A and B are shown apart, each in its own frame.
Chain A
């Protein structure tokens, strides 16, 4: 066997697998989205029918607020952890990165333990404080899996910042606040955009968390799920999946072109 043939033979299993279980199913999904009563106009229906449009807005709104909150928290914590060496730093770092591989269902349950009917907050505060099943619970759940993802990206970027640049700014009389605004943040910016895109895409597609919280908040993955299982509206479920898939894929493409990393989607 020649060298070239051997290399091609090496790629064959991958080619066959991704053709059979990725390419063809995605084509089928796309075709199925046009097989409803309205044909391809189904993509217009998403924008015309309030139920779907509201869902879209709700999903984007929750995802944006989670993204910015996670960016604020993780950038602050990430800069702190990469600039300071102290006892217990490793422990803090482990605590903040281990949730990376927790499935969304588990995170949903953790939020219930925090803010559910038998939750910690309800027990230690007077009165009836239950927020796990509302939009706040959803927000906290998404925040839970976004913090570690953003933190890792920010810390990798913080290691590459140039400390003499900050010293120069200080010698020239810049206040700590100005140093952050004019030196540190611009240096981190590509990574922050990348991390933000990752957090946003993950929040958009998160299913497990919303599923466990069983909220009546309509987010896109939950609507896809109910359209498919309860309403048997397969065309709409497929169309929404296609829209969701294109959005998250495009966002992660942006993220990768800016920072060269991708952290697993999921949740």
Chain B
């Protein structure tokens, strides 16, 4: 009984503010309450003010996905084929951004590259931060799936039939790694769209991502606009999150 109460209270604590935010985003005047009527004008206002930030975030997420695939897929294969202490250290090292707070990583990047004005002011600087943060998720997701299959035997079989390393990579590794790639890809996109800690330090006034815009609206806009913006964010992120959880569970089943 006590368990049920604790569970329901925790749910309420997590859910009620979310509902409040959604309600506030579609209420004509939040201070007067819901009786002031429902409206979409705040959502349109958000679109006028912040459409750029939404598109920048989507673009960054896609670019980030592309980069993490390009770096992460071959790397996961390399790590799976060479399981030794060197690979362990490399895997551990690239996982640092999971543990070290984004603020610290951003300071490190700023101090090394901050003086390169062209790079510092372009969107690729933010992209570097996002790739840094999401890459370990991609690598680990693919690696977990690859570690579960007998890659060596499969590849040896293909090699005796005359397949080159590249052909084996394309025709054996990639299809087998697909569940891991899918789970990794969804994780990368979801995290990139929601990333704030690094981005806040790396962004410039002309390059605001969605979460940076959110922080901006929380500080300077009326509550209804901030809520409507949060609503837009939820609409974008929640389906991605659910797809990510589904794909990760599926990849985990295969990896076991």
Contacts and interface: CB of A to CB of B under 8 A. Distances in A.
Task: Give the interface size class of chain A.
Answer: 35 or more
Contacts of B70: 13
Interface stretch (A36-44, A106-114, A164-172, A188-196): A106-114
A32 B111 contact: yes
A134 interface: no
Interface in B234-256: 237-238, 241-242, 244-245
Contacts of B96: 22, 26, 249
B81 interface: yes
Query: Majority SS of interface residues in chain B?
Result: helix
A52 interface: no
B218 A17 contact: no
B215 A105 contact: yes
B195 A22 contact: no
A15 interface: yes
Contacts of A143: 13
Contact of B241 (A23, A98, A110): A98
Contact of B94 (A14, A99, A201, A237): A14
Interface in B90-140: 90, 93-105, 107-109, 111-113, 128, 131-132, 135, 137, 139
B42 interface: no
B200 interface: yes
Most buried by A among B97, B131, B137: B97
Nearest to B156: A3
Interface string B33-77: 000000000000000000000000000000000000011101101
Query: Majority SS of interface residues in chain A?
Result: helix
Given A13-B70, A80-B3, A80-B6, A245 B101 contact: yes
Contacts of A105: 196, 211, 214-215, 218
Given A15-B90, A103-B211, A237 B107 contact: yes
A241 B106 CA distance: 10
A14 B20 contact: no
A96 B11 contact: yes
Interface of B: 2-4, 6-8, 10-11, 13-18, 20-21, 24, 30-31, 70-72, 74-75, 77-79, 81-82, 90, 93-105, 107-109, 111-113, 128, 131-132, 135, 137, 139, 159, 164-166, 169, 190-191, 194-197, 200, 211, 214-215, 218-219, 223, 226-227, 230, 233, 237-238, 241-242, 244-245
19 contacts: A3-B159, A6-B169, A9-B74, A13-B70, A14-B75, A14-B90, A22-B97, A25-B109, A73-B6, A80-B7, A113-B24, A114-B17, A114-B20, A120-B16, A144-B13, A147-B14, A208-B215, A248-B101, A249-B99
